[in-house]
Amino acid sequence: MLQITLPDGAVKSFENPVTGLEVAASIGPKLALAALACKINGETRDLSTVISTDATFAVLTEKTRDKQPDKEALSVIRHSAAHVMAEAIQDVLGKDILLAYGPSTETGFFYDMFVPAGKSISTDHFEKINARIAEIIKENRPFSRYEQAGAAGLAKVKSEGNKYKVDNAERALAAAAEHNVSASPLSFYATGVPGTNWEDLCRGPHVPSTGRIGAARVMSVASSYWHGDEKSDRLTRVYGTAFASQADLDHYLNQLDEAKKRDHRVIGKALRLFHIDEQVGQGLILWTPAGSVIRQELQNFISEELRKQGYQQVFTPHIGRLDLYKTSGHFPYYKDSQYPPIIERDALELLSSQGCSCAEMLNRVDGVSAKLASEVNERTGAEAIPAHVVRPDDQLLDGYMLKPMNCPHHIKIFASSPHSYRDLPVRLAEFGTVYRWEQSGELNGLTRVRGFTQDDAHLFCTQEQVSAEIVGCLSLVKTVLSTLKMNEYRVRVGLRDPDNNKYIGASENWDLAEAACRDAASTLGVAYTEAPGEAAFYGPKIDFMIKDVIGREWQLGTVQVDYNLPIRFNLSYIGADNKQHCPVMIHRAPFGSLERFCGVLIEHFAGAFPLWLSPEQVRVLPISEKTSDYAHALVKQLRDAGIRATADVSNERIQAKVKDAAEMKVPYMAIVGPRDAEAQAVSVRIRGVQKDLGAMPAAEFIATLSREVQSRGTQSVAAHFGVTLA
């Protein structure tokens, strides 16, 4: 008797060994039809896999039970599509293209191939390859697995003359031997009938047949190396993607297209929002006047909300002493992601005159004094500073660091005056600039940079106050995102890993803080998921993920509860019992950084910012020279009302002026001719509406715009003309 346990805990019994497909059919015929693969004892397998011992079992279909695309099923579809693409490429370009390695990825799959001299795979071949892929999918050939004993299997692979597959087979056999799997066979998958149709050495799993792939296509080519080793063979990496249906693939391709149009690096350049200059340094953003307006407006908006919530603004320097970061733990443990320390010139000169080598200097920089180590270790009750970095005082080299985090500075402000429980919570906010050493290959416009300004704040509170503070953080995010009309977002609550005890702080406090994070998420009506094991070692956290207008998800910032730093820095307040207590600290930077957030906003709005964020809010366009004085006067009135306005008094024709303003995505154009001047009126054009809307008294136009700016709204002038904007 064979016992198969299903995800809901139900157990099915079978007399004889069964295949995954048979188990699926026993649950329901519809499920068997929808099944793409299965999970046996947690491992993804072919539906044809024979189960001969008791096991847990689940069917993988296109969608999960809560109607979301099933990522594991999609990954099986995509790897199956890699086989189909490889077959199509060999059909189109010849069997002398040798296949090496073809896994699925986050957005599709790739296959690394050796392309012999004189041949190449390029976009010119894509049409033919895609046509062949479509045919193979249509033919709906089964993926047929068969196995051959290790030695016989290896001999078969060797006889085929593809050294990459021989390498793969040898590695598979070596790995099996290491895990003591005796007589391990190699597995092959034919796309159709073994011996007749195309086949590939592969571990699997695959969907039952090519027709189940839905839709697939080749996307791009790049170069790669065998095993990623530059000294090894140069290969061609062919990228493709696949989805369960043509509609899903079309949606993805549209999204890619749309994303390309919205690329913040391209729009940022066209609208002159920011600049990155090699001579200043990679990943260091120069905010131009136009971009600075957006950043400043966002900053003003967030600051207003913070003031309402009782935050206090602080300013701190961009550097701090190494000792500070040794106490906080940011140095030397995270030194690889930081700019190197700044050592005082006198100290460097002295050491070099003593013949000190670079290695010795580094060693002295990275060390922590015995005194500091014993203080911190005593407070944390753990080896927070490990013995191998401890050095005698006279060997240490002092210096400064560009700050990787604002927390230590804020902690020092908190600690600079005594606190009673009555003054808590203390909420210190700063748009604080920090520096991280990202690999140059990782840098990307505004979204991955080496210097960025966090919308940072640190809250110092009692354990009882944690819950309300987290609610406050979430409601701020809600206000800001709803004003920006970004209404689709979710939060992920990072909790302890129940099987791990690396966490700092009392378990009952963790229970409270975790419950506080969950409650905050649920009372605000925000979609949230729980992620066990995703908490930091020092406290639970909430991460924010927003969906932009084309459905892409961006991770923004976090709210983190911290039981560690207050101990490391020996913080305290006097409680109601007149005794010293250690506060809880909350780090929060819900939008992450202004750089990243602005990058996301540029893509979200495709550069067409709402009025209050627009660098140039109104452009006044005189029809001819005759009305340029009136245009200048209007600009002055607009500016006096706090509106960012310019006049285009060039000799261009009005159509050209309109086109220029539209290209710069200016939300409002005020066109002025002699009749407007006489009537003290403007003829209005709104961004995105392809016509003049008619005249409006200038004073009313200005007053309406002022209201729209103040309310951070979007529709007021349009409403005046009875137009609704998209």
| Residues with catalytic function | 407, 436, 454, 456, 458, 541, 587
Nearest to 639 by CA among 719, 709, 696: 709
State both tokens at 326.
Answer: 């040794």
Which residue number, 121 or 565, has a Cβ lying nearer to Zn ion?
A: 565
Q: Which two tokens stand for residue 31?
A: 């499920």
CA distances from residue 256 to 219, 252, 260, 604 in whole angstroms, order as listed: 11, 6, 6, 14
Least separation, in Å, of the C-beta of 73 and Zn ion?
Answer: 15
Identify residues 369-388 at the interface with Zn ion (CB under 5 A).
none
Q: Which is nearer to Zn ion, 204 or 268 (CB)?
A: 204
Element (H, E) at 461: strand 451-461
Q: Which token pair is 455?
A: 């919308």
Residue 76 binds to Zn ion (criterion: CB under 5 A): no
Mask 163-202, x = binds Zn ion (CB under 5 A)?
---------------------------------------x
Residues 6 or more apart whose Cβ sits within 8 Å of residue 438 = 283, 337, 448, 449, 450
Contact between 610 and 712 (Cβ < 8 Å): yes
Scanning 133-141, 161-169, 406-414, 551-559 for contacts with Zn ion by CB under 5 A, the matching segment is 406-414
CB of 587 to Zn ion, least distance (A): 3
What minimum distance in Å lies between the beta carbon of 326 and Zn ion?
Answer: 17
The least CB distance from residue 458 to Zn ion, in Å, is 6
521 binds Zn ion (CB under 5 A): no
Q: Which stretch binds Zn ion (CB under 5 A): 24-32, 232-240, 405-413, 593-601?
A: 405-413
First-to-last alpha carbon distance for the chain, in angstroms, is 64
For Zn ion, the closer CB: 141 or 587: 587
Complex with Zn ion: residue 585 or 602, whichever CB lies closer:
585
- The answer to the question of residue 587 lying near Zn ion (CB under 5 A) is yes
Distance between CA atoms of residues 14 and 3, nearest Å? 7
In this complex, which beta carbon is closest to Zn ion, that of residue 332 or of residue 404? 404
Query: Is 407 an interacting residue with respect to Zn ion (CB under 5 A)?
Result: yes
Q: How near is the Cβ of 522 to Zn ion at its closest, in Å?
A: 25
Could you give the angle at which helices 289-308 and 466-483 cross, rounded to 10 degrees?
Answer: 140
Residue 406 beta carbon to Zn ion: minimum distance, rounded to whole angstroms: 6
User: Could you identify the residue written with the tokens 């966490």?
Assistant: 503
Indicate the pairing of strand 368-369 with strand 390-391: parallel
Q: Least separation, in Å, of the C-beta of 690 and Zn ion?
A: 48
- Asked whether position 237 contacts Zn ion by CB under 5 A, the answer is no
> What phi and psi, each to the nearest 5 degrees, are found at residue 243?
-140, 165
With beta carbons less than 8 A apart as the criterion, state whether 154 and 160 touch: no
Cβ atoms < 10 Å from Cβ of 412: 13
Which residue lies nearer to Zn ion by CB, 410 or 665?
410
Nearer to Zn ion by C-beta: 202 or 244? 202
The rounded distance, in Å, linking the Cα atoms of 4 and 505 is 42
Choose the binding region for Zn ion from 264-272, 292-300, 400-408, 706-714 (rule: CB under 5 A): 400-408
Taking CB under 5 A as the binding criterion, the range among 370-378, 404-412, 599-607, 697-705 that sits at the site for Zn ion is 404-412
Full DSSP string of 291-342: HHHHHHHHHHHHHHHHHHTT-EE----SEEEHHHHHHHT-TTTTGGGSPPPE
One-letter amino acid for residue 524 of the chain: L
**Min dist. Cβ of residue 697 to Zn ion (A):** 51
How many chain residues touch Zn ion (CB under 5 A)? Answer: 3
Let me know how long the chain is.
726
Half-sphere exposure of 512 (CA within 13 A, CB side): 16
- Map tokens 């200097």 to a residue: 361
Nearer of residues 193 and 576 to Zn ion, judged by Cβ: 193
CB of 76 or CB of 521, closer to Zn ion: 76
CA distance 687 to 698: 18
Asked whether the CA dihedral 150, 153, 157, 158 is positive or negative, the reply is: positive
To Zn ion, the closest distance from the beta carbon of 198 in angstroms equals 12
Question: Which stretches of the chain bind Zn ion, using CB under 5 A?
Answer: 202, 407, 587
